[in-house]
Amino acid sequence: MQHHRYLSTRLPRWFSAGCLLALAGCHTKNDDIAAVSYVCATEPAPDPNAVGPDRCGAADACSAPGADPNKCLPPEPYVADGRGWPPAEPDPSCVLKATRVTPPDGKVLDEPINYVEAQTALDTQRINAAVSACPMVKLTTDGDNNAFLSAQIILNGKKLWIDKGVTLFMSRNAALFQSTGNCGVLGVNDSSACIEFISVSGANPEIIGEGTIDGQGGEPLVGHDYSWWQMSYALRAIDGSIGNPTLINLKKGTTGFILYRVTLHNSAKFHVKLTSSPATGVGAGVCDTMADRNKGFVVWGITLLTPSKFFNSAGFQLTPSWARNTDGVDPGTTDIAYCGTIACNTISTGDDHIAIKGGHWVQNLSIAHNRFGTGHGMSIGSETFGSYMSPDGVTHRGVTNVDVWDLTIDADSRPVGHEAHPADFNGIRVKSDESRGGLVDNIRYSDICMRDMVNGLLVSTAYNPLFAGSSYPDFRNLEFHNVRAVTCAGLQPAVVTLEGYNQTLRPTITLDNVIFDNLNPTIGAATEFAQFKLGPGDINFDVQGRGVDILQPDMRTGTSTPKECHFTQLPAPAVPPGWKY
């Protein structure tokens, strides 16, 4: 059921949610404005076990009758591609039973501080031995035992199945992840300091199941009184990059990766650094249709919640603002990402929900039916300078051919922390600067709903104005169709920023039925060095600015209806007794 709130038609046209919630400093005029509708209800979460056309992604499967070939999904892994869920049980020697119990809130699993003792006390050796010997390894419960504790797991072309009820914990012992000598060392700006928790490579690797992987990013390191996140946060003032372990890192040359159903919690840094492409290569005919966009990789049905609890074992309050650099899923981080689908996922974290990293070539992605909570947005960049020469001699560049549809982003889903910055509340953003810019082209967003964003649409070619260089951002065709943003509990109204780099490097931006409720129509949008195609749906803000052209003809009909938005319940940490928010 939707609930609506309406602004009185006697409120001034610039009156914001910030004025509604904190009247100090607000000015008034008596201009009449039309009523504005706010969609502030939270509906039940969709059923992840729905069947038939009600199952996420089923209605627009490319194989469905009447499917739109320009906006459809390849089969859901296992459920819709004939293999069936759950998979067939592996050989008994490939099924590992838990020997630990997941600790209650406020506690952590005990770990030896001694490096040699840790090698045998943890589950690392038996997991890696099984992975080496078996095509699929299943981690399962054994009575009350439901937890595994491990250092680095190496998954080379194999499948790791984390069964329902199981939690695989990453060790808190920095010595087990040492790379440069700086892993776990405070104050050192070394992004390569640590190796990753789960290292993925080879052909057709998979991480699947209904269990949980927990990176324990907010918990104190063994032998120390600080956590991975506190190490990262200490470098925030200088924009430093701590070398904390990535939860899941795909290596160059990985093909056909699947991440399916699992829950991810509390990564020390990025959750999923994703590079994968089809085993058959990247040439013509490999990924020409949207139905092919499962050949390179699929991320489907995962739940990502970071932080997953209010307090760590030392009593320190955990909030998304503390969980710095904990991106959700980042295609193109290590190497190219080609021909992939990211669908039906739920993501709340302390940094980008999805960040397409164009430091390597990224092309032909479908991102559909995802629900985002707290985080820094559906992002492209900041690196967009990547290039790749395929075996046929063709050079591919930047980020191209990305379709994002049916996305909700809800910043009203949970508290974010007392030091959260307005820049942490982003909806859709394309970001780069002259130190790392390059091509971004043929990016299409449609059916997008946002609640309590600060930066609703942010296309920025000066992401870090302190960085200089000659890799200029070359943003070209960006399309926004049926986009709506509402404000319910936000203290600041949303803003829209759409800018190219200069008079020569100007993106062509299509705006079709793009409505920001509670947006000041004259100062709520900033545009510069861009060409706009408008319509057929309306927009409710002014796009005039320096170096701006409206391409003719203007297709707006004046009869469009703002997209109807529904915001569903999102996962959030259990509220401590006596707390209210």
Domain containing 515 equals 37-550
- With respect to residue 294, please indicate whether it lies within any of the assigned structural domains: yes
> What's the mean pLDDT in 530-537?
97
pLDDT tens track for 248-297: 999 999 999 999 999 999 999 999 999 999 999 998 899 999 999 999 99
How far is residue 561's CA from residue 551's CA, in Å, rounded to a whole number? Answer: 23
Report if residue 134 sits inside a domain: yes
> Does the residue 28 lie in any domain?
no
The verdict on residue 567 lying in a domain is: no
Is 569 among the domain residues? no
**CA-to-CA distance for 360 and 299, rounded, in angstroms?**
19
Q: Between 242 and 408, whose confidence is greater?
A: 408
**Tell me, what's the pLDDT at 95?**
98
Confidence of residue 462 (pLDDT cuts 50, 70, 90): confident
Structure tokens at 94: 């490939």
Structure tokens at 537: 């749906």
Q: How many distinct structural domains can be found in the chain? A: 1
Percent of the chain with pLDDT over 70: 91
The whole-angstrom separation of Cα 565 and Cα 484 is: 8
CATH number of the domain that residue 402 is part of: 2.160.20.10
Tell me which residue of 209, 318, 316, 231 sits closest to 266, measured CA to CA: 318
Which pLDDT score is estimated for 167? Answer: 98
Token duo for residue 80: 């819709």
Which residues, in sequence order, are bridge partners of residue 298? 258, 341
In a domain? residue 163: yes
- Residues 6 or more apart whose Cβ sits within 8 Å of residue 117: none
In a domain, 255, yes or no: yes
> Residue 144 is encoded by which pair of tokens?
């009350």
Coil vs helix vs strand at 259:
strand
Does residue 507 form part of some domain? yes
Q: 0.85 cut: is pTM over it?
A: yes
